[in-house]
Structure 1
């Protein structure tokens, strides 16, 4: 069940990410990136509700945390694989767009050309398809785990000891 919702979440997130990238909204509208969290929250909630439905409406905190973490893991791995393929083969200029966006942000902060050059040289080491995937997967796992902690605490319903 968590695997199924992880796959569904991953596929929806990939389609959403593809739409943002194709329309260049990923770089121009930061607020739209938060919708990815809404998609993940929805998948975690649906997976936990399904688990509760199959278990007489009971789910311990640990069970919920495990379900949410598994949903997040599957979704993050799918997203990471997609990101690698997208950056490496489909949109080979993606990293250049990221670099341009970063330079623009640093210029808006009033940084000098030397400071910008230094910041870019440090970040370029991390702007490879492989590192982008690593950050995407581990970032997704981290935030998904935190979300699972909260959602599990809200949705848990412990089975009475003498039932």
Structure 2
């Protein structure tokens, strides 16, 4: 059996997963679902399903139905990498061009939480904290954190899902 690199097939799966995550995000935006809504956690299920699909597709189409843990993880990691890259780019575009008020909404929410949790904060302390928060909520930083966050989540999920997607060939000596 000739081994085929997981990168090519996983890249296509990652593209599909990234597009699915974009559609899900746009759906949440169009339905005006709050940033803190539990519906956001559905994206983890979407990612897990996409990673599992990628691993078993790679196993069954390219590896003659057998795949060790390392191969399954590689397929999942590459899928997550491509999907995270697409999601990170989308996070930037979303914050910069689609939901233009997102940064202001995050800053207002942060200020409200600061005042609720620390009612003794001075205006100077609040301004300083909001200035720091603003640096991390720019569209570019949202893109970076979107990429990094999705990559970490997909890597952890790949480590777990690979346990179930692997299928060792018992006939090989």
TM-score, length-scaled by structure 2: 0.83
Match of 1:122 among 123, 126, 132: 132
For structure 2, which runs of at least 5 residues remain unmatched after alignment?
1-8
Distance 2:26 2:116 in 1: 28
For residue 159 of structure 2, what is the aligned residue in structure 1?
A: 149
What is the CA-CA distance between 1:147 and the residue it aligns to? 0.6
What is the CA-CA distance between 1:130 and the residue it aligns to? 0.9
Distance 2:97 2:26 in 1: 14
**Alpha-carbon contact 2:103-2:134 (below 8 Å) kept:** no
For residue 25 of structure 1, what is the aligned residue in structure 2?
A: 33
For residue 107 of structure 2, what is the aligned residue in structure 1?
A: 99
For residue 86 of structure 1, what is the aligned residue in structure 2?
A: 94
What is the CA-CA distance between 1:103 and the residue it aligns to? 2.3
**Alpha-carbon contact 1:44-1:71 (below 8 Å) kept:** yes
Look up the SS of the partner of 1:63 in the other structure. Answer: helix
Runs of 4+ in 1 over 4 A off after TM superposition: none
Distance 1:33 1:135 in 2: 16
Look up the SS of the partner of 1:162 in the other structure. Answer: coil
Distance 1:116 1:22 in 2: 32
Root-mean-square deviation (CA), in Å? 1.9
Distance 1:111 1:4 in 2: 51
How many residue pairs get aligned? The number is 162
**Alpha-carbon contact 2:18-2:87 (below 8 Å) kept:** yes
For residue 52 of structure 1, what is the aligned residue in structure 2?
A: 59
TM-score, length-scaled by structure 1: 0.88
Cα 1:111–1:141 change in 2 (3 A) is: farther
Distance 1:86 1:162 in 2: 50
- In our comparison, the structure showing a higher alpha carbon Rg is 2
Distance 2:36 2:154 in 1: 25
For structure 1, which runs of at least 5 residues remain unmatched after alignment?
none
**Alpha-carbon contact 2:59-2:72 (below 8 Å) kept:** no
